[in-house]
Each structure stands twice: as C-alpha cells, then as structure tokens.
Structure 1
Amino acid sequence: MRIRTKDIVAKLPVYQPGLSAEDVKREYGIDNVVKLASNENPYGCSVQVKQALEEEISKLSLYPDGASLKLKQAVAEQLQVSSNQLIFGAGSDDVILMICRAFLTANDESIAADQTFPQYKHNAEIEGARTIEVPLKEGKHDLEGMLAAITERTKVVWICSPNNPTGTIVTKDQLIAFMDRVPSHVLVALDEAYCEYVTDASYPNSIELITNYPNLVALRTFSKIHGLASLRLGYGIGHPEVIRSINQVREPFNTSRFAQAAGIAAIQDQEYVTHCKQRNAEGLGYLQEQCERLELRTMPAHGNFIMIEVPMLGKVMFEQLVSKGIIVRAGFRHYPNAIRVTVGSREQNNAFIQAIEQILLECKVDL
C-alpha cells in the first residue's frame, strides 16, 4: 500500500544541510577538519549560557513554558519592545513556517529573491502558494523589481538582510522607500538572522520601523552570534496583531526548556555578543584582504560569511577543499562559480586561505 502525499509535497526538494566534520573524517580519512559551511559561531556560546543549561539538567522531566514568558520578558527588555510583539520558534525557520501557515493559502503569492534562504519558497509551496522569484542585482535585492511583482494575490514579501548566501544588505533608506510603497495588506518578513554582525551604519533598525509599518515583521535567531544552533531558538518581532495571528498556528511547547534558559542567558550577555561581533569583523577583513591578494572577487559581506567567486565550478572547488579537510558551501543555482565561506576563528581562516591558495597554484600548474 502506498499512502499518497499532497501533490505539491511530492515535488518538494528536501533541505540539504552542509557536510558535517564527522562525515568528512569518515569519508576522506582526515583527522583535522575545518567546517566553514553552516555559518556557525566558531567561538561557541557564552559562559553564562552554559551555567544556565547546567541548572536545567534537573528539570528534564518537566514541560517547558508553552508561552516562553520569561524568555519574552528578557528579550523584550533588551530590545525595548512589548512582550506581545514577540513570537518564538524552534529556530527562525520555524517562525517562517508559522508565517506561511498563518497567512498563505492555495493560489496566494509570496515574493522572494531568486537566490536567498530556500525555506521561504519551500514553506509557501507547502501551503499551496506560488512564490515569485525576483533576480538579485549584483547580489542585492532588487526592491523595485519586487514592488513591480506585487499583485492582488500577494500576501508575503521575503527580504533577507544580510542575504544568505550573498551577504549583502538592504539599507535603511532603501527599506523605508520600499515600505512606503508596499500595500498595507501585504506582510513584509525581514529576515535578520545575521543582523548582530553588521557594522555598516546604513543598516536599518527594524524595531524602530515596525512602529511606523504594522505590516513589517523582523525575524531573528539565537543560532548565529549567540552560538545556540543546536538548541533551535529563533523569534519574530512585529505588531501585536500580526504576532497574535502567527501565534494562533504555533505548535504547543515548540521551544524547549534548555532553549528558553539558554536564550535568556544569551540575550543578557551583550558583552559576549560584542566580543563575537568584533572577532567576526576582524576575520571578515582578513578573508577579504586575502581574497584580494589572490585576485578572487567577493560579494560585499555583512554577516559572518563571505561569497567568493572562484575560477571553476563552485562544486569542483568544494570537492578540492573537502579533500584538504575544509568544508564550505557551494552549488548555488544562480552563482555556479561561487562558494560561501563562514568566517571562522583565526586558525580556521588561515587554514582555509592556505588550502585555497594551494588549489589555485595547482590549477595554474595544470594549465
């Protein structure tokens, strides 16, 4: 007997995470592996988070707070918003799923860039909605093109800033000009998973803008700068009515006790956030300088990763790097000759540069 799935589900691709260090060690017989594929924080999490998790060990048999009240209070205090402006999920991708479930139905439309985080389109299609993909311009969101794509069927517009995988941002002036022209009934979901890393002064404060634009919701995560990727914790910030609608489709107990305790400790340790931001800026600057020395073109990078154009298919460079124990990301539909590299520790960044320089030299010898 074969149980039939929805027609659309049968056609959907399964999300492919980056190779793990364990996979590479096993398949290539390499002991020292540097993983720069998933934009994880190379410095881990705050010491205060580890202490908070230790205190939760004795409560494994207890359900978490379904409403995440203490976590809401801690985040609301840090961001200077009301608790009813926040919704939490098992990673920001869970919030993306909830937005699609709450607002999209069959024959609706959402709009996204043609090279961005794939879960926007994936979750919209699960609801039967069509996603209009607007090509990036030089790796940046074409906001004019996205405005032109809005129709009476449009329910959600997705903007990722810094954009994954290109690393580019939408500036404050650009976002305001865009929001001024978006119909008030269209929700704009601004994915800011990497916002804490941005040092550019033109980057918008989305929380301030939400006051003026009730149809704007910002998405953030504890997976990146806070170093809590394994605990799956993300959140959305928006107008109370928008958040209420999203909350109505939230699964009960969708964040664990460990995630909530870790989130509280992480958001309160802003000294650690600042430390990671500074270290990331140093590492990013180093990678940019080295790529310039090696005559490799890079996208303007504002997160904790950088997209690098290489003189071969990205998948070929990926294989070459993996053989040397360096894991990056490649296989981008509209950037076939590019790789995305996470900004690692000083030692990891050095290892990557040494490996790619060796590969480039080997290519010249072959020629």
Structure 2
Amino acid sequence: MSEEILNNVRKNLFAIKPYQPGKPISDVKRDYGLSDVIKLGSNENPLGPSKLAQQAIAEALQGVNRYPDPGAFSLKEALSKKHGVETKQILVGNGSDDTIKLISETFLQQGAEIVVPSPSFSQYWFGAQLMDATTVAVPLTADFEYDFEAMLSAVTASTKLLYLCSPNNPTGNYIRQADLQAFLDRVPAHVLVILDEAYNEYVVENDYAQGIDFLKQGYNVIVMRTFSKMYALAGLRLGYVMGPAEVIDAINRTREPFNANLLAQTAAIAALDDADHVEASRKQNREGMQRLQAGLEKLGYQLLPSQGNFAIFNTGLDDQKLFDLLLREGVIVRSGTPLGLPGYLRVSIGLLEEVDRFLSVFEKVVSSAVRNV
C-alpha cells in the first residue's frame, strides 16, 4: 500500500489499541494442546441461554434468508412493557459496544471531552478516540468507590458525555440511589450522563440506583443494558439504550439499518419472558460468588465486594505471569494489568465445579510463581 494512501487515514485512529477480549476456549486448546478448558474471563452466564430463547432461535432459523426488522419493533414493545418507557425512548444495537459507538458518533467531535471513572470499561475511551475527542479519566477512591466530587470538578464547557458503570467493570462496585440523586442534581445541563447497567440484573443490594427511575424523572441520562450477561446471549450480540425520546432520535440517525440480527431479536423477546431462568442464574451467581470468596480467603486473599457476575482481587504478584500459568492449566481468567489494575485478577463466576477448579489451579500456580520469584 502506498504511503500516500496511509497519509489519508485520520491520525487519531493510530492511538487506538485493539480491545483485548477474554481468551476464547478454542485458542487456549490450540495454543497449549489442551482438551479441557474452562473460561472465567468474559463475565458470561455459565448456565447458557434459557430454554425459551433456544426454542425461539430454532423456530426462527428458517427465516434467516430475510432481513431482520430494522426498527426492532417487537423487541422494543417487549422492552417498553418490561421497563415502563415508550418505544420511542429505546434504541437497539449490536451489543453495548455498538451503542457506545453510536452515542460517540452522535455527540463527539474534535475538541469535545468525555469524563469517565478509572478503571472502568475501555470502550468508553474507544468511542471518544474514534471521534478524536478527549477522555478525562477520574481515578476511583482508595476503596474503589466513585469520586463524585472529582468527576464534577472534571466537567468543563467541552464535556459532552459522562459515563458511570454500575456495577462497575472491572471492580464490581455499585452506585447507591442517594449518591446518584445528589450527583445528577449537580451535573451541568449540557452534559449527558450514560449509566451503563450491563450487570443490573445481578445486583442484590436494596439501595442500588436504577437508572430508569432517573430517566422517568426527566434527568439527562441514557441507560444502557445488554442481553449478553444475565440473559446469556453474548454470542448473538444485542444491547439497548433507553433515554429521552429526542436524544434517542438523534442517536438513531447514526445507526445502521440492520444492526440487530433476526435471531438476536427473537431470542431476546423470549428471554425476557423467562423469569425462572433469571432467578436460577441469580442463585447460581450468588452461590458461586460465596464459594469463590470462601476459597480465596482460605488461601489468604480477599475479593473486592462485587454486585456483578465477576470479582477481582489483589494477588500481590505479577498478574500477567499468573494469567499465563493459569492458561497453561486450562483456566481462562482476566489479567488486571490491561484492565488498569496491575497485580489483580478478575474472575467470572462460573459453575460451582468451575470455581472449585479455579481455586485448585490458582493455589498450584501461585506456589509455582512464588518459588520462581
């Protein structure tokens, strides 16, 4: 390719580093010659999709020669009924990554700023960098809570978007109702607050702030949700946002016409009706979290409190080395360094037998790592 062609590429794109997803099981099997691998690195629901969703997918297969509904009418109606918002307040996307990109394309340009907590989900930064905007990162407090005062101080006349992830990925902390109320009351009117609630369905604390409540009260907020976590449809890629109708209309103008595929839309509608699957997933997550916490405490480690389907802890060692040693044993987790927390490991809550296997292998590799320090 000629240098002249490369010179035409927008220079801000070269600062974008490819997203580092959790390692696929197939890669680990191939790279290390393994036949038995467990994946606890991508915060997936280990129970898999509900039977209702699976049945809906099977029935819809004969129709994949047709384009999906570009406006996701039936899915929006189902979401409207579930959340009590109008369909014109809902936009459906190809996962949360897609909706973040759409929001960024709608509101950001060179000279614009976004404010984000740090560490948090890296795709907020990606959306800003894509549009040549500036990301202002505000560190969490020493106990991994949001520093609301610092975030307010970071807002300028150039700030367009402010992201809050609750429960936060990768730390698992959540925002309390009273704290969010006090914060939103002070956010300047020109700033749109995006409340990323990808793990909303896993939260058990009664004082958890539900973004929809603030949307209904007229605050300048967008609420992001996904079908990838609790509803176990990560492979179909489906997320959605809810916000003021005028804001959703503006974002919709950047959306590709068929950004949510037919199987995803069909499965999501069925998944919303399967309350038993949601409750079973919550129960499994609570039990797995308790098993993980108890096992790590026996080994001398402490999980950060988490309201998601994952937890993170300080190993006190080289997390990337531990990550690699675990891979060689057929256990996939997430290294803390690329997440902004060197020395930490993030572990998704798997089936109980998967949690037990992680604990056993982790104890083994830690002993090996300490011996070789």
Q: Which TM class, normalised by the smaller chain length?
A: over 0.9
Residue 345 of structure 1 is matched in structure 2 by 351
Summarize deviations over 1:4-39 as a string: whole Å, max 9, x none.
Answer: 210001221111212111111111111110111111
For 1:349 and 1:225, locate their aligned partners in 2 and report how far apart those are by CA, in whole Å: 18
Alignment of 1:163-182 (within 5 A): 163-182=168-187
Query: 2:46 pairs with 33, 42, 45, which one?
Result: 42
What secondary structure sits across from 1:62 in the alignment? coil
For 2:14 and 2:209, locate their aligned partners in 1 and report how far apart those are by CA, in whole Å: 39
Residue 135 of structure 1 is matched in structure 2 by 139
For 1:235 and 1:210, locate their aligned partners in 2 and report how far apart those are by CA, in whole Å: 15
Question: Does structure 1 conserve the Cα–Cα contact (< 8 Å) formed by 2:44 and 2:229?
Answer: yes
Shift in Å, 1:360: 3.0
Question: Does structure 2 conserve the Cα–Cα contact (< 8 Å) formed by 1:111 and 1:156?
Answer: yes
For 1:109 and 1:258, locate their aligned partners in 2 and report how far apart those are by CA, in whole Å: 36
Residue 288 of structure 2 is matched in structure 1 by 283
Shift in Å, 1:333: 5.6
What secondary structure sits across from 1:243 in the alignment? helix
Question: Does structure 2 conserve the Cα–Cα contact (< 8 Å) formed by 1:78 and 1:268?
Answer: no
Matched-pair identity in %: 39
Unaligned runs of 5+ in 1: none
Question: Does structure 1 conserve the Cα–Cα contact (< 8 Å) formed by 2:322 and 2:369?
Answer: no
After superposition, the Cα gap between the structure-2 partners of 1:7 and 1:363, relative to the gap in structure 1 and judged at 3 Å, is closer
Residue 158 of structure 2 is matched in structure 1 by 153
For 2:293 and 2:155, locate their aligned partners in 1 and report how far apart those are by CA, in whole Å: 36
For 1:185 and 1:120, locate their aligned partners in 2 and report how far apart those are by CA, in whole Å: 19
Query: 1:6 pairs with 7, 10, 18, which one?
Result: 10
Shift in Å, 1:236: 0.3
The answer as to 2:215 corresponding to 1:210 is yes
For 1:68 and 1:161, locate their aligned partners in 2 and report how far apart those are by CA, in whole Å: 26
Summarize deviations over 1:300-334 as a string: whole Å, max 9, x none.
Answer: 11100000111311101101111111010012364
The answer as to 2:98 corresponding to 1:62 is no
Alignment of 1:247-326 (within 5 A): 247-326=252-331
Unaligned runs of 5+ in 2: none
Question: Does structure 2 conserve the Cα–Cα contact (< 8 Å) formed by 1:214 and 1:238?
Answer: no
Query: 2:84 pairs with 80, 90, 95, which one?
Result: 80
Residue 194 of structure 2 is matched in structure 1 by 189
Residue 219 of structure 1 is matched in structure 2 by 224
Question: Does structure 1 conserve the Cα–Cα contact (< 8 Å) formed by 2:70 and 2:259?
Answer: yes
Question: Does structure 2 conserve the Cα–Cα contact (< 8 Å) formed by 1:52 and 1:265?
Answer: yes
Name the count of aligned residue pairs: 367
Query: 1:110 pairs with 110, 114, 124, which one?
Result: 114
Q: Which moved more, 1:158-167 or 1:134-143?
A: 134-143
- TM-score, normalised with respect to structure 2: 0.96
After superposition, the CA RMSD in angstroms is 1.3
Residue 203 of structure 2 is matched in structure 1 by 198
Question: Does structure 1 conserve the Cα–Cα contact (< 8 Å) formed by 2:170 and 2:339?
Answer: no
Summarize deviations over 1:165-212 as a string: whole Å, max 9, x none.
Answer: 111111111111110000122100010001101111111121111122
Q: Which amino acid aligns with 2:235?
A: S
Shift in Å, 1:213: 3.6
What secondary structure sits across from 2:185 in the alignment? helix
- TM-score, normalised with respect to structure 1: 0.97
Q: Which amino acid aligns with 1:241?
A: E
